[in-house]
Amino acid sequence: MIETIQTQASPLGTPRTRAVHRAVADARRGVPVVLAAKHPLIIAPAETVGAEGLRLIDLLSEGTPKLLLARSRAEAVMPQGVAPESAAVVALKLARPLIDAETLKRAADPTLEQILPEFELSSAPEEAEAALTLAKLARLLPAMVVARVKPGWAQRREGADLLTVPAHDLGAYPLNLAASLTRVAEVPVPLDAARDARLVAFRALDQGIEHMAIVVGEPERLEAPLVRIHSECFTGDLLGSLRCDCGPQLQGAIARMGREGAGVVLYLAQEGRGIGLINKLRAYTMQDRGLDTLDANKALGWQADERNFHIAAQMLRGLGIARIRLLTNNPAKLSSLAACGIEIVERVAHEFAPNGVNDSYLETKAKRFGHWLG
């Protein structure tokens, strides 16, 4: 569930938002960036940072470097546990010189063999959530190495090329991204179950990931057309994986809209409830070790659902649709879309029988995510 956001979105073409684009690219390459705030921090993802990145952090920072982890991940890393009153982001002390990159990767990724030092708890900086947001925007594990930068760091030759990005801009970026979505292509694509279907592609001004609307008939002419929000699932939609019910849900939605003569499937590039394909595969590994789908996400440091439903709302507005009948068993989708300004006049059940492999997965969705059964 998300809250209604009143913030005015800023254009993605501004220098500040372009800085977020570059920060995401640098994070994926393991290059440190400087988080501009009251006390600026130099940060790098534990998953991708290498020896050179750690050398730069050691050289350009002062005080105690720290490893930031989501609380759910920190609880697994700390043998003595984490205090109940601990914040959502937990800071662990790192010694100087910084421990090797491989150890940091193991601390971030529970699917790797856990050969870890004994960490000591520390206080998290005010910008801790912004630092983890950068990792999430880059679809990396939410684990960041951070340290306070030395005064005059920018004048040093070794730090001259490092990017500076305001902490606030990282937090505002998901809303800005959704607000900038525009239609960029449209073409008829006849489907077995819906011969009059067409694809409408949406892209944000960052020219990044595209989201698709599968439009059947002319739903914009209806007072409240049937709409399904479907997050892409490479394993289920394309490969026919039996671990989930995504493939049947997608095909079932298209078939129902074909029978009704109109409807929209919003096919969002938010794999694994927003954590990305690689992290979803990691979550599968944790599930094979005994965790359910919710606890597997938390073990990696993610929330149960990381999707940005503002994207779905903006796509509907781009299609000229403001009132819908929502095809879902997920109550969070109802509240999230409503918070984004979409009126839902009816919830339409969308249920498929278990297949003998995904039984526990469907049971978890009902018991722990609150999904309705029918």
Question: Could you list the pLDDT tens digit for every one of the 374 residues in the chain?
Answer: 333 333 344 455 566 778 898 999 999 999 999 999 889 999 999 999 999 999 999 999 999 999 999 999 998 888 777 866 678 899 999 999 898 999 999 999 999 998 888 899 999 999 999 999 999 999 999 999 999 999 888 767 777 789 999 999 998 888 888 888 999 999 999 999 999 999 999 998 766 789 999 999 999 999 999 999 999 999 999 999 999 999 999 999 999 999 999 999 999 999 999 999 999 999 999 999 999 999 999 999 999 999 999 999 999 999 999 999 999 999 989 999 999 999 999 999 998 889 999 999 989 988 888 887 76
Phi-psi region of 312 (alpha: psi -120 to 50; beta: other; left: phi over 0): alpha
- Annotation marks residue 307 as catalytic: yes
Which pLDDT belongs to residue 229? 97
Which pLDDT belongs to residue 296? 95
- Active site residue: 183, 307, 325, 347, which one? 307
Which pLDDT belongs to residue 306? 93
Strand ranges for the chain from DSSP E: 33-36, 41-45, 61-70, 89-93, 121-122, 143-149, 164-166, 182-188, 197-203, 210-216, 226-231, 263-268, 323-327, 343-348
**Domain extents in the chain:** 15-173, 181-270+307-368
Domains 15-173 and 181-270+307-368 share a fold: no
- Annotation marks residue 292 as catalytic: no
| Helix axes 331-339 and 309-318, enclosed angle (nearest 10) | 60
- Active site residue: 73, 169, 305, 325, which one? 305
CATH H-level superfamily of 15-173: DHBP synthase (3.90.870.10)
Which pLDDT belongs to residue 205? 75
Distances from the Cα of 352 to the Cα of 70, 126, 328, 337, 342, angstroms: 34, 45, 11, 23, 26
Distances from the Cα of 156 to the Cα of 41, 49, 58, 65, 290, angstroms: 16, 21, 13, 19, 49
Question: Amino acid letter at 172?
Answer: A
The CA distance from 93 to 345, in Å, is 51
Distances from the Cα of 31 to the Cα of 42, 47, 258, angstroms: 10, 11, 48
Which pLDDT belongs to residue 17? 75
Q: How far from chain centre, in Å, is Cα 143?
A: 14
Distances from the Cα of 329 to the Cα of 223, 317, 369, angstroms: 22, 23, 10
HSE-up (13 A, CA, CB side) for residue 143: 25
Q: How many CB atoms lie within 10 A of CB 15?
A: 6
CATH number of 181-270+307-368: 3.40.50.10990
The CA distance from 312 to 174, in Å, is 12
